[in-house]
């Protein structure tokens, strides 16, 4: 069965520092991959998506992600983190039943 | 601002009450979803409607009853809930199935449900 793993439960970075959130997927074919962000008490906002083509995907709020088939990874990056980026980040993959399956999430904390 | 609107934002209900959660979107999306999210957990799929017909029921207890009156509206009727049903209930919509053409899901801000 398809699955997605986010190995880091929490990550703390200083404001202005770079960020990389890890995501590994399990899927036989080319996956449909997404990153969502959730602020406290809010719904999920789509940051970016990958279906095919260029493996480096640009998203909103200065985020990007790179699809690496050889590593089964889709890591999210941002060159300079802002305090407002503190939130929960979910990686997700579409399974063979066309259902969106979420990883367990990574909570990002930003130090002033 | 989210394009998927959910009401109410907060709901407190007793175990014998009947209540409904409402969701509305005007993006012309033809698939609509209910997710349940417990604290510090990812969202879990409950139901999917496609073209106003129930396509997926993830073995959800019958005390949760979904309804899709038209392509823009999605309801979740609640009856005889248990305290463990307390959670954030998220509605989402997409142009089509997420794996077909890669339609992303657009989420509302959710209804925070507390069952007492």
Taking a C-beta distance cutoff of 8 angstroms, is the pair A36, B35 a contact?
no
For residue range B49-84, list pLDDT tens digits in order: 999 999 999 999 999 999 999 999 999 999 999 999
Q: What per-residue confidence (pLDDT) applies to B101?
A: 67
- The CA dihedral of A37, B51, B10, B5, to the nearest 10 degrees, is 70
Mean pLDDT of chain B: 93
Q: What per-residue confidence (pLDDT) applies to A49?
A: 94
Output the six-digit token pair for B53: 């017909």
Taking a C-beta distance cutoff of 8 angstroms, is the pair B5, B111 a contact?
no
Q: What per-residue confidence (pLDDT) applies to A104?
A: 97
> Cis omega before residue B61 (within 30°)?
no
Output the six-digit token pair for B12: 């407190």
pLDDT category of residue B11 using cuts at 50, 70 and 90: very high
B interface test, pick of A25, A98, A108 with most B CB neighbours within 10 Å: A98
Q: Among A43, A49, A94, select the one facing B2 at the smallest CB separation.
A: A43
Instruction: Count interface pairs A-B at CB distance under 8 A.
Output: 56
Q: Among A43, A94, A95, select the one facing B107 at the smallest CB separation.
A: A43
Tally of CB atoms within 10 A around B18: 12
Mean pLDDT by 10 residues, chain A (112 residues): 91 97 87 94 92 92 96 96 97 87 96 92
């Amino acid at each position: 069965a398809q699955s997605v793993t986010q190995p880091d439960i929490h990550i703390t970075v200083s404001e202005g520092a770079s960020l990389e959130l890890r995501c590994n997927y399990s899927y036989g074919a080319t996956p449909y991959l997404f990153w969502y962000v959730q602020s406290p008490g809010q719904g999920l906002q789509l940051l970016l998506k990958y279906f095919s083509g260029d493996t480096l995907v640009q998203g909103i709020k200065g985020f990007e992600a790179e699809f690496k088939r050889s590593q089964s990874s889709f890591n999210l990056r941002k060159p300079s983190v802002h305090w407002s980026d503190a939130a929960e980040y979910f990686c997700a993959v579409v399974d063979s039943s066309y259902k969106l399956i979420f990883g367990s999430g990574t909570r990002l904390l930003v130090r002033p | 601002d989210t394009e998927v609107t959910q009401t109410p934002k907060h709901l407190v209900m007793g175990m014998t009450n009947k209540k409904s959660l409402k969701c509305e979107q005007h993006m012309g999306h033809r698939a609509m979803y209910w997710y349940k999210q417990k604290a510090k957990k990812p969202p879990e799929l409950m139901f999917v409607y496609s073209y106003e017909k129930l396509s997926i029921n993830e073995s959800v207890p019958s005390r949760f009853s979904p309804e899709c009156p038209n392509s823009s509206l999605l309801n979740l009727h609640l009856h005889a809930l248990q305290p463990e049903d307390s959670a954030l209930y998220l509605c989402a919509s997409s142009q089509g199935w997420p794996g077909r053409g890669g339609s992303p899901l657009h989420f509302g801000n959710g209804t925070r449900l507390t069952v007492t």
